[in-house]
Protein backbone atom coordinates (compact mmCIF):
# COMPACT_ATOMS: atom_id res chain seq x y z
CA UNK A 1 0.00 0.00 0.00
CA UNK A 2 1.30 3.44 -0.91
CA UNK A 3 1.87 5.99 1.83
CA UNK A 4 0.07 9.31 2.15
CA UNK A 5 2.62 12.07 2.72
CA UNK A 6 1.69 14.91 5.07
CA UNK A 7 3.58 18.18 4.87
CA UNK A 8 3.14 21.36 6.93
CA UNK A 9 2.49 24.63 5.12
CA UNK A 10 2.89 27.92 7.00
CA UNK A 11 1.10 30.98 5.69
CA UNK A 12 1.83 34.59 6.55
CA UNK A 13 -1.12 36.54 5.16
CA UNK A 14 -4.90 36.45 5.21
CA UNK A 15 -4.85 35.35 1.57
CA UNK A 16 -1.82 34.02 -0.28
CA UNK A 17 -0.60 31.36 -2.66
CA UNK A 18 2.32 29.22 -1.51
CA UNK A 19 4.25 27.33 -4.19
CA UNK A 20 4.42 23.68 -3.07
CA UNK A 21 6.15 22.15 -6.10
CA UNK A 22 8.99 21.01 -3.83
CA UNK A 23 6.56 19.11 -1.56
CA UNK A 24 4.93 17.40 -4.53
CA UNK A 25 8.29 16.37 -5.97
CA UNK A 26 9.52 15.21 -2.55
CA UNK A 27 6.49 12.89 -2.23
CA UNK A 28 7.06 11.56 -5.75
CA UNK A 29 10.74 10.92 -5.00
CA UNK A 30 10.01 9.19 -1.69
CA UNK A 31 7.24 7.06 -3.22
CA UNK A 32 9.53 5.57 -5.84
CA UNK A 33 6.75 5.87 -8.43
CA UNK A 34 8.16 6.57 -11.89
CA UNK A 35 4.93 6.66 -13.90
CA UNK A 36 1.54 7.21 -12.30
CA UNK A 37 -0.58 9.88 -10.66
CA UNK A 38 -0.08 12.25 -7.78
CA UNK A 39 -3.07 13.58 -5.84
CA UNK A 40 -2.65 16.69 -3.72
CA UNK A 41 -5.36 17.24 -1.11
CA UNK A 42 -5.91 20.09 1.34
CA UNK A 43 -7.82 18.98 4.48
CA UNK A 44 -9.09 22.46 5.35
CA UNK A 45 -12.39 24.21 4.64
CA UNK A 46 -10.82 27.67 4.26
CA UNK A 47 -7.88 26.74 2.03
CA UNK A 48 -7.48 25.13 -1.39
CA UNK A 49 -5.00 23.89 -3.96
CA UNK A 50 -4.60 24.85 -7.61
CA UNK A 51 -2.25 24.78 -10.56
CA UNK A 52 -1.43 28.13 -12.11
CA UNK A 53 1.36 30.24 -13.59
CA UNK A 54 4.62 30.43 -11.66
CA UNK A 55 6.64 32.80 -13.88
CA UNK A 56 4.99 36.14 -13.15
CA UNK A 57 4.00 36.77 -9.51
CA UNK A 58 1.43 39.29 -10.75
CA UNK A 59 -0.77 36.38 -11.86
CA UNK A 60 -1.12 35.26 -8.24
CA UNK A 61 -1.63 38.77 -6.89
CA UNK A 62 -4.21 39.49 -9.62
CA UNK A 63 -6.02 36.23 -8.81
CA UNK A 64 -6.20 37.09 -5.11
CA UNK A 65 -7.22 40.68 -5.80
CA UNK A 66 -10.12 39.58 -8.00
CA UNK A 67 -11.22 36.83 -5.60
CA UNK A 68 -11.31 39.40 -2.80
CA UNK A 69 -13.40 41.76 -4.96
CA UNK A 70 -15.89 39.09 -6.00
CA UNK A 71 -16.04 37.49 -2.54
CA UNK A 72 -15.28 40.25 -0.02
CA UNK A 73 -14.33 39.48 3.56
CA UNK A 74 -17.19 41.54 5.01
CA UNK A 75 -20.45 41.17 3.14
CA UNK A 76 -23.11 40.54 5.76
CA UNK A 77 -22.45 36.80 6.07
CA UNK A 78 -24.33 34.86 8.76
CA UNK A 79 -21.48 32.52 9.75
CA UNK A 80 -20.39 33.50 13.27
CA UNK A 81 -16.63 32.94 12.84
CA UNK A 82 -16.35 35.76 10.32
CA UNK A 83 -14.62 33.67 7.67
CA UNK A 84 -17.47 32.83 5.28
CA UNK A 85 -15.57 34.41 2.40
CA UNK A 86 -12.73 31.93 2.98
CA UNK A 87 -15.14 28.98 2.95
CA UNK A 88 -16.65 30.16 -0.34
CA UNK A 89 -13.23 30.73 -1.96
CA UNK A 90 -12.06 27.29 -0.83
CA UNK A 91 -15.08 25.58 -2.39
CA UNK A 92 -14.73 27.49 -5.65
CA UNK A 93 -11.03 26.73 -6.09
CA UNK A 94 -11.22 23.17 -4.73
CA UNK A 95 -9.52 20.96 -2.20
CA UNK A 96 -7.62 18.62 -4.54
CA UNK A 97 -5.75 18.34 -7.81
CA UNK A 98 -4.18 15.48 -9.74
CA UNK A 99 -0.84 15.64 -11.53
CA UNK A 100 0.58 13.08 -13.94
CA UNK A 101 3.87 11.52 -12.84
CA UNK A 102 6.17 10.64 -15.70
CA UNK A 103 9.78 9.44 -15.41
CA UNK A 104 9.67 10.23 -11.69
CA UNK A 105 8.70 13.90 -12.16
CA UNK A 106 5.49 15.90 -11.86
CA UNK A 107 4.38 16.53 -15.44
CA UNK A 108 3.46 20.22 -15.37
CA UNK A 109 3.39 22.74 -18.17
CA UNK A 110 6.32 25.10 -18.69
CA UNK A 111 4.85 27.91 -16.60
CA UNK A 112 2.81 25.81 -14.16
CA UNK A 113 3.26 25.25 -10.44
CA UNK A 114 1.17 23.71 -7.68
CA UNK A 115 -0.03 26.30 -5.18
CA UNK A 116 -1.49 25.95 -1.70
CA UNK A 117 -4.17 28.67 -1.50
CA UNK A 118 -4.67 30.35 1.86
CA UNK A 119 -7.96 32.20 2.32
CA UNK A 120 -8.11 32.54 6.15
CA UNK A 121 -4.57 33.06 7.36
CA UNK A 122 -2.06 33.38 8.62
CA UNK A 123 -2.08 29.80 9.86
CA UNK A 124 -0.15 26.56 10.14
CA UNK A 125 -1.74 24.22 7.62
CA UNK A 126 -1.04 20.85 6.07
CA UNK A 127 -1.25 19.22 2.69
CA UNK A 128 -1.68 15.51 2.00
CA UNK A 129 -0.06 13.97 -1.07
CA UNK A 130 -0.66 10.46 -2.42
CA UNK A 131 1.38 9.04 -5.30
CA UNK A 132 0.22 5.87 -7.06
| List of domains in the chain | 4-73+80-131 (2.60.120.460)
CA distance 83 to 22: 29
**What pTM does this model have?**
0.95
CA angle 17, 27, 53 (to 5 degrees): 30
User: pLDDT tens, 58-77?
Assistant: 999 999 999 999 999 988 99
Q: Is the pLDDT of residue 80 over 90?
A: no
Cβ atoms 102, 40 nearer than 8 A? no
91 membership: H or E segment, kind and range: helix 84-93
Asked if residue 46 has pLDDT above 70, the reply is yes
pLDDT at 59 (0 to 100):
95
Amino acid sequence: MKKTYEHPVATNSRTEFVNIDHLVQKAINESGVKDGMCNVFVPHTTAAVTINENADPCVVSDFLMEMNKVIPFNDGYSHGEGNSAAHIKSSLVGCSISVIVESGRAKLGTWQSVFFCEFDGPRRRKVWIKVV
